[in-house]
Amino acid sequence: MFEAHAIDSSNKTEFYRELTSQLGGLLTGERDLIANAANTSALIFQMLPDLNWAGFYFLRADDELVLGPFQGKVACVRIPKGKGVCGASVQRRASVLVEDVYAFPGHIACDSASRSELVVPLIEDGKVLGVIDLDSPNASRFDADDQAGIEKVAEIFLASTDF
């Protein structure tokens, strides 16, 4: 049985090295999409301080994200491509880091407590499959190190999972 171990978050480079190592172990031997997305969101939510939501949206059809496994309060189910921070990430095919969600035009407020957000796209063979979405109740919670770390999480998730 896999057991997640607490990680010192004072050094972000070390933190993400350890987090991605634990994620690799957690996903070893399992390729199911729902199981791996559920455990990945649980590990992120358990390990990263100051989050109020962590989870997945998957691209269904060409132009709509649908809610996947997550940790946090109930969330909006469908997000059109181009809408909100998640839809912007799909459209731009790039991570979107929002220091203050009130300053992001079109931000979709699933939880009014959210103040900052990081969305990383899942891209395989040039195709966007979905996003990983993290929300924090703190403004400016995420920086470039978090973005690089969660992009590595997305890479490991994609390599370990069948869509």
The site for ligand SME (CB under 6 A) is made up of 53, 75-76, 79, 84-87, 107-108, 110, 114, 117, 133, 135
CB of 124 to ligand SME, least distance (A): 21
Cβ neighbours of residue 31 closer than 8 Å, sequence gap 6 or more: 160, 161, 162
CB nearer ligand SME, residue 36 or residue 116: 116
Which residue in the block uniquely carries the two structure tokens 């920086």? 143
Q: How far is the CB of 40 from ligand SME (least distance, A)?
A: 15
- Contact assessment for residue 26 and residue 43, using Cβ atoms and an 8 Å cutoff: yes
Tell me the closest approach of the beta carbon of residue 36 to ligand SME, in angstroms. Answer: 19
Q: Which C-beta is closer to ligand SME: that of 22 or that of 69?
A: 69
User: Which is nearer to ligand SME, 26 or 110 (by Cβ)?
Assistant: 110
Q: Nearer to ligand SME by C-beta: 57 or 157?
A: 57
Which position's Cβ is nearest ligand SME?
A: 84
For residues 66 and 51, give the distance between their C-alpha atoms in angstroms, rounded to a whole number. Answer: 21
Task: Mention every residue, 6+ apart, whose C-beta is less than 8 A from residue 126.
Answer: none
- Shortest approach of ligand SME to residue 14 CB, angstroms? 28
Nearer to ligand SME, 31 or 78 (CB): 78
Least separation in angstroms between residue 27's CB and ligand SME is 22
Give buried/exposed letters for 11-40 (b at 16+ CB in 10 A, else e): eeeebbebbbebbeebbeeeeebeebbbbb
What strands lie across the sheet with 64-72, from one edge to the other?
78-80, 64-72, 53-60, 127-136, 116-124, 96-98
